[in-house]
Amino acid sequence: MNRREFMGKAAATTALSMVAPMASFSKQRESQLKLAFIGVGARGAGQLSVALQRKDVVITAVCDIDRDALTNAQELVKKAGQKTPVAYGKGELDYKNLLEKEDVDGVIISTPWTWHTKMAVDAMKAGKATGLEVAGAFSIEECWDLVEAYESTNTPFMILENVCYRRDVMAVLGMVRENLFGEIVHLQGGYEHDLRAVKFNNGKQLYGGGVEFGDKGYSEAKWRTQHSVSRNGELYPTHGLGPAGLYINNNRGNRFVSLTSTASKARGLHDYIVNHPNGGANHPNANIEFKLGDIVNTMIKCANGESIMLTHDTSLPRPYSLGFRVQGTKGLWMDINNSIHIEGKSRPHEWENADNYMKKYDHPLWKKHENDTQGAGHGGMDFFVLHAFVEALKQGKEMPLDVYDCVSWSSVTCLSEQSIARGSEPQEFPDFTNGKWVHRKPIFGFDDAF
């Protein structure tokens, strides 16, 4: 048993004290933060635009290996009235030069998944507060790398899981905390998003127009699709699991203990290629055998007895949904039908429209910042996730979604792959907090600060 395995097994009995923020980060910062963006493709450029709306942030450096993306990012910054940021794009490792040379307070990393851990670890080691896009880590080893980089440097780290800031998700957090649903028993969520026109395009545009991917694809088709070719697991757990984790105080009095995953057959991507006007049965990509099951269901068991069901569903025709369900001893909420049922309040066996509850429990952050969310992506939640990173850093406070959140969510991917490969065998989560989960207290979303 190596040290990491030992730490995982021994966790419940070896609670350590909390990691204290490093002195230089715990002080309040100047009113303007200097940020750099690493990866300025579709997502990075979108979040760069959100950052450029803020008066308390200047963007002094950008990094991307794609010349067009880099130029576009520089133009965005200039158009916003700031100085042209220094550009880094001379190869895949040029981000290291940015980290070494640029005097920035923080970096936002929005690169393809396989780069996330390497870049975040290097950024923390360089002492730059690190905001990392989802999905985070892709192996248990990478999860430990993130934890160890954080614990050895105390550099602030935040996983930028924007769905935790969705308006209804935050309102429901208030309902959970007021015990509206009673004791929480079961949760559901997932990523149910028809990504076929994201995984394939014509190499020139973000969505659709062809069935190309890899070197012939554009944006996510360049890299994301290959994961569907070679991996069978819950590839994108954080949008569903972030909110679910908050509802049950994951890593803060509770934790994920084990999971089982089951994958359906894989048909959707092949059918898409064959039936696409620019594809067909004779297209070379029609010969590819996709490993990723069209529907992957994962069941997580938590230390305090709750179950969480996650669904990954990105290869079949369907409307978008994250499929949330929060259920306790007194009732439940489901987002798909925007409905609530509370025993004693709702008519027996009938749904109530959730609108009145959502108004009553609207989160103070949303009330305060509703106007600031205009133009921010994903219905405004993209504003809040960046806001939280910036405000926590400025105020020298703990990041609200931290490295332990990141790795407990991300580890689902490789654990689910292992489970599926072994006939849905249960897999144990390591305790990445090394026992600290027992005493840590929830910090997310208690006021209107961030």
Ligand X SMILES: NC(=O)c1ccc[n+]([C@@H]2O[C@H](COP(=O)([O-])OP(=O)(O)OC[C@H]3O[C@@H](n4cnc5c(N)ncnc54)[C@H](O)[C@@H]3O)[C@@H](O)[C@H]2O)c1
Q: Which positions lie near ligand X, rule CB under 6 A? A: 38-39, 41-44, 63-66, 69, 92, 95, 110-113, 115, 133-135, 162, 219-220, 222, 378
- Of residues 35 and 184, the one with the C-beta less far from ligand X: 35
Residue nearest to ligand X (CB): 41
- Measured distance CA(36)–CA(48) in Å, rounded: 9
The least distance separating ligand X from the CB of residue 236, rounded to whole angstroms, comes to: 7
Backbone angles phi, psi at 198, to 5 degrees: -95, -40
Q: Are 388 and 158 in contact (CB under 8 A)?
A: yes
The least distance separating ligand X from the CB of residue 386, rounded to whole angstroms, comes to: 11
- Of residues 192 and 306, the one with the C-beta less far from ligand X: 192
Please list the alpha-helical segments (H only) found in 313-443: 355-360, 364-369, 381-395, 403-421
- Of residues 22 and 65, the one with the C-beta less far from ligand X: 65
The least distance separating ligand X from the CB of residue 113, rounded to whole angstroms, comes to: 5
Q: 13-46 burial, b for 16+ CB within 10 Å, e for fewer?
A: eeeeeebebeeebeeebeeebbbbbbbbbbbbbb
Q: Whole-angstrom distance between the N-terminal and C-terminal Cα of the chain?
A: 41
The least distance separating ligand X from the CB of residue 419, rounded to whole angstroms, comes to: 22
The least distance separating ligand X from the CB of residue 230, rounded to whole angstroms, comes to: 17
Q: Are 265 and 294 in contact (CB under 8 A)?
A: yes
- Measured distance CA(446)–CA(158) in Å, rounded: 17
- Of residues 193 and 440, the one with the C-beta less far from ligand X: 193
Q: Are 218 and 138 in contact (CB under 8 A)?
A: no
Axis-axis angle for helices 140-153, 403-421 (nearest 10): 170
- Of residues 38 and 263, the one with the C-beta less far from ligand X: 38
The least distance separating ligand X from the CB of residue 111, rounded to whole angstroms, comes to: 4
Of 432, 359, 301, 397, which Cα lies nearest the Cα of 175?
Answer: 359
- Of residues 173 and 322, the one with the C-beta less far from ligand X: 322
- Of residues 41 and 190, the one with the C-beta less far from ligand X: 41
The least distance separating ligand X from the CB of residue 144, rounded to whole angstroms, comes to: 20
- Of residues 25 and 88, the one with the C-beta less far from ligand X: 88
Instruction: For residue 88, list its beta bridge partners.
Output: 63
Axis-axis angle for helices 238-247, 403-421 (nearest 10): 120
The least distance separating ligand X from the CB of residue 14, rounded to whole angstroms, comes to: 33
3-state helix, strand, coil in the chain (%, to 5): 40, 20, 40
The least distance separating ligand X from the CB of residue 119, rounded to whole angstroms, comes to: 8
- Measured distance CA(362)–CA(356) in Å, rounded: 10
Q: Are 156 and 126 in contact (CB under 8 A)?
A: no
Q: Are 365 and 450 in contact (CB under 8 A)?
A: yes
Q: What tokens appear for 314 in the block?
A: 């990105």
- Of residues 95 and 150, the one with the C-beta less far from ligand X: 95
